[in-house]
Amino acid sequence: MRVRDLMLGALVTVIWGSNFSVIEAGLRDLDPFLLTALRFLMTALPLAFFIRRPVDVPLSAVAIYGVLFGVGLWFVVNLAMSQGMSPGLSSLVLQFSAFFTLLLSAAVLGERIRAPQVAGMVLAGGGLLLVVGYTKGAAATRGVLLVLLAAVSWSVCNLIVKRHKPADMLAFIVWSSAFSAPALLLLTWLVRGSAPFVVLSHGITFPAVGSILFQAYVTTIFGYFIWNTLMKTYPAATVAPLSLLVPVSGIATSWLVFDEHFASGVWLGIAVMLAGVVVFVLSPRWTRAPVIANPVGER
Taking only the tens place, the pLDDT of each residue in 188-212 is 999 888 888 888 877 788 989 999 9
Stated pTM of the model: 0.79
Taking only the tens place, the pLDDT of each residue in 66-125 is 999 999 999 999 888 888 787 877 887 887 787 788 888 888 877 777 787 788 878 878
- Counting Cα atoms < 13 Å in the Cβ hemisphere of 14 gives 6
Name the pLDDT band for 60 (thresholds 50, 70, 90): very high
User: Which residues contact residue 47 at a Cβ distance below 8 angstroms, ignoring those fewer than 6 apart?
Assistant: 170, 174, 221
Check pLDDT > 60 for residue 298: no
Residue 111, pLDDT score: 75
Residue 65 and residue 160 in contact, taking contact as beta carbons nearer than 8 Å: yes
- Alpha carbon dihedral 251, 35, 30, 34, in 10-degree steps, equals -150
